[in-house]
Amino acid sequence: MTTFHIQIAGQVAQVHALFPSTKDYCCRYATDLPPDLTVTVTEEDLRSQQAALDREAQEEGFRRRVFTDPFLERTVIQEKMADHLLSHECLLFHGSAVAVDDMGYLFTAKSGTGKSTHTRLWREVFGARALMINDDKPFLRLETDRVLICGAPWSGKHGLDTNITVPLAGICILERGKEDTIRRISPEEALPLLQKQAHHPPDPCLQALSHALTDRLSQQVPLWHMTCTPTPNAATTAHNAMRPCPSFAITQLA
């Protein structure tokens, strides 16, 4: 058993992990601060997680994959953290997020649409101005007057993430197309996909909390739909539309 502390979206977890590699995986988020919760992983957790991934693959029509125990452990920790953070108005969300000039931009879509390709283009276009927040599942912290987007170690197959927290400028739903066009959409139009991409715990009470936070998220941040090409022009088009006006308060947090 390996024990360490990590800080995710302002909450500190004391993690009791089965594998030393898990501590290495989470090292960018290590802290010496006292914990707000304890996360312990058991062999039963690993088997339950594999079964849950099997069900998900069946529902989505994907081929079943047998995952390594260290991978399953990291996923268990992610989900236990996500469950805890719901009560702190923080939502785990499936998407690829990039920061430019200390402002976050989140792109979501059905799997295989090209979210990672799109944020890679942002990094190519904006160079040193751009930082990858998380390429798979960032956390969104809802405050009274803004939403903050937070890095986390669970960042997909490419492992692209940064331990930063910045204001979220907006969420964009991507769709492949032959030209680059972007438009504002209403919460009602965006909400079905936002609900699908948000963290859904099996516990009914936590599910209700997740749905409420997602609904609130749709009301608090600008929402966009973009049809895009895999070219640098797509990044420029998206940024020109989504970047906030100069009066928008930009505050990067430690």
User: Which whole-number Å values give the CA distances from 250 to 122, 149, 227, 245, 247, in the listed order?
Assistant: 19, 13, 28, 10, 9
Contact 8, 78 (CB under 8 A): no
For 114-143, write each residue's pLDDT tens digit: 899 999 999 999 999 999 999 999 999 999
For 236-253, write each residue's pLDDT tens digit: 999 999 998 754 443 333
Report the candidate in 201, 212, 176, 171 with the shortest Cα–Cα distance to residue 189. Answer: 171
Question: Where do the domains of the chain lie?
Answer: 2-86, 90-242
For 6-64, write each residue's pLDDT tens digit: 999 999 999 999 999 999 999 999 999 999 999 999 999 999 999 999 988 888 788 88
CATH class assigned to 90-242: alpha beta
Amino acid type, 4: F
Give the pLDDT confidence score for residue 60 in this predicted structure.
79
User: Which whole-number Å values give the CA distances from 224 to 145, 173, 178, 234, in the listed order?
Assistant: 20, 6, 18, 14
Give the pLDDT confidence score for residue 59 in this predicted structure.
83
Mean pLDDT of the 78-85 span? 97
Q: Among positive and negative, which fits the CA dihedral 157, 74, 6, 115?
A: positive
For 179-217, write each residue's pLDDT tens digit: 999 999 999 999 999 999 999 899 999 999 999 999 999
Give the pLDDT confidence score for residue 246 in this predicted structure.
56
Give the Cα separation of 39 and 44 in Å (integer). Answer: 14
